[in-house]
Amino acid sequence: MTDIASLALPPALSQALQALSFDTLTPVQAQAVPPLLQGRDVIAQARTGSGKTVAFGLGLLARIDPAQGALQALVLAPTRELADQVGKVIRQLARFLPNVKLSILCGGVPLRVQVESLVHMPHIVVGTPGRILEHLEKGSLELGSLRVLVLDEADRMLDMGFADAIAAVVKFAPRECQTNLFSATFPDEIRALSNEFQRDAIEISIDGDSQVPEIVQRFYEVEPERKLDTVAWLLSEHKPVSAMIFCNTRRDTQDVAAALDERGYSVLALHGDLEQRDRDEVLVRFANRSCSVLVATDVAARGLDIEDLPVVLMYDIASDADTHVHRSGRTGRAGRSGLVLTLCSSREMSRAKVIEERLGQPLRWETAKTTPGRLKTGQLSTMQTLVIDGGRKDKLRPADILGALTGTAGIAAADVGKIAIFDVRAYVAVTRGIADQALQKLREGKIKGRNLRVRKLG
């Protein structure tokens, strides 16, 4: 770790880091930020959760001129969820920079709504390649003044088939634009992308960070017909506050989630067939601890950034070593410990051998046990989510919701969890035992002087 005082950051960025209690830099931040501040192109590889977003966020904010009313920094991300998270981090870092405007442009929102919002051009845009390209071709975005282009989770974007869209976006950018690639892995396709778009790039690879000591990996040989009972046994054995289970197919996510629900777990499934609103609500509930187990496919989980996830369980072994690394990287973030549990049938042993070669050490195999399906071993989550029909467009803020709950409703602040604000909806987690009381009080009272519809989710 490196002290932040060693960086030649603008005072406003140093002030933001201090306000966010950033005392030291992670390895990727310590190595990437200095060349980023110098305007050098950077290609950086480090595991998920290693602090890459703060690294490129500091770099691009240092080059923004708020007095210039033009788009100066563009970040491409694979999913709307990751774009939202990147935007949140950059906004936090920019809190002491005057008049910096940031917009998030992704699918799931009508294009015309976004076009109207771009009448006053933001300084920074974060978005998915397809939607950004739509705006560029329509003329609602203009990159003539662009200073910094960032490709975040570049390997995931290539996996999702965004190569052509990325290439098309880059053609709109000035040749002298600083171009940075950040990725959890360095496949050949990423190096080819670097060679095509970057100039004399500084390469940073935090290899040791991909298998940090805080992450323990255990493998279990389990035949398909015993997997569900083994999952139940592992969850009852470790009793994680939250766990993410990876499946290779949408059907398996639904089957595993249904089986765990029958055993008494607060569980939800995340797959590609969900509508955007349903997907948002699944992620909100998992992040705020009102759902303790999330069962997901790799495609659905791409770009997710879940804080403090103690356990990752692989119902199916990953099809390749890079996917295994990505799945494992969901836990053990920001120096916390993590546990990765992988089920592997006898027919999948060849995949285990590939993963073993990638990890560079023998896999730790343990004996699998089972919990019979008739036993209700699960525990309900400690929190429950309330939905409020009001959001950013209603000028609703987290402080308004917290005040309504702890003021006239008389709910203790300790019983209020995370609050998430969307355009037309807001979500607040409350302790399960007082959820009905909180719901009744909010319905009887007012939020920011208004009567808003409130209901319980799940």
* Domain boundary, last residue among 150, 180, 209: 209
The CATH number for 400's domain is 3.30.70.330
**Is residue 371, in this structure, part of any structural domain at all?**
no
* Domain boundary, last residue among 359, 392, 415: 359
User: Does residue 431 share a domain with residue 413?
Assistant: yes
User: Does residue 44 share a domain with residue 173?
Assistant: yes
**Is residue 445, in this structure, part of any structural domain at all?**
yes
User: Does residue 417 share a domain with residue 396?
Assistant: yes
User: Does residue 135 share a domain with residue 60?
Assistant: yes
User: Does residue 351 share a domain with residue 334?
Assistant: yes
The CATH number for 271's domain is 3.40.50.300
Q: Which residues contact 144 (CB under 8 A, 6 or more apart)?
A: 70, 174
User: Does residue 278 share a domain with residue 199?
Assistant: no
pLDDT tens digit at each of 458 positions of the chain: 456 767 778 888 988 888 887 778 889 999 999 999 999 999 999 877 778 999 999 999 999 999 999 999 999 998 888 898 899 999 999 999 989 999 999 987 889 999 999 999 999 999 999 999 999 999 999 999 999 999 998 888 887 788 899 999 999 999 999 999 998 877 788 888 889 999 999 999 886 544 444 789 999 999 999 999 999 999 999 999 899 999 999 999 999 999 999 999 999 999 878 888 898 899 999 999 999 999 999 876 766 667 778 999 999 999 888 889 888 888 876 567 789 999 999 999 999 999 999 888 899 999 988 876 666 667 789 999 999 999 988 989 888 999 999 887 889 988 999 999 988 999 999 999 999 999 999 999 889 888 999 999 97
- Total domains, the chain: 3
User: Does residue 30 share a domain with residue 160?
Assistant: yes
* Domain boundary, last residue among 359, 394, 409: 359
pTM: 0.67
User: Does residue 229 share a domain with residue 183?
Assistant: no
User: Does residue 262 share a domain with residue 160?
Assistant: no
Q: Look up the domain containing 445 and give its range.
A: 383-457
**Is residue 222, in this structure, part of any structural domain at all?**
yes
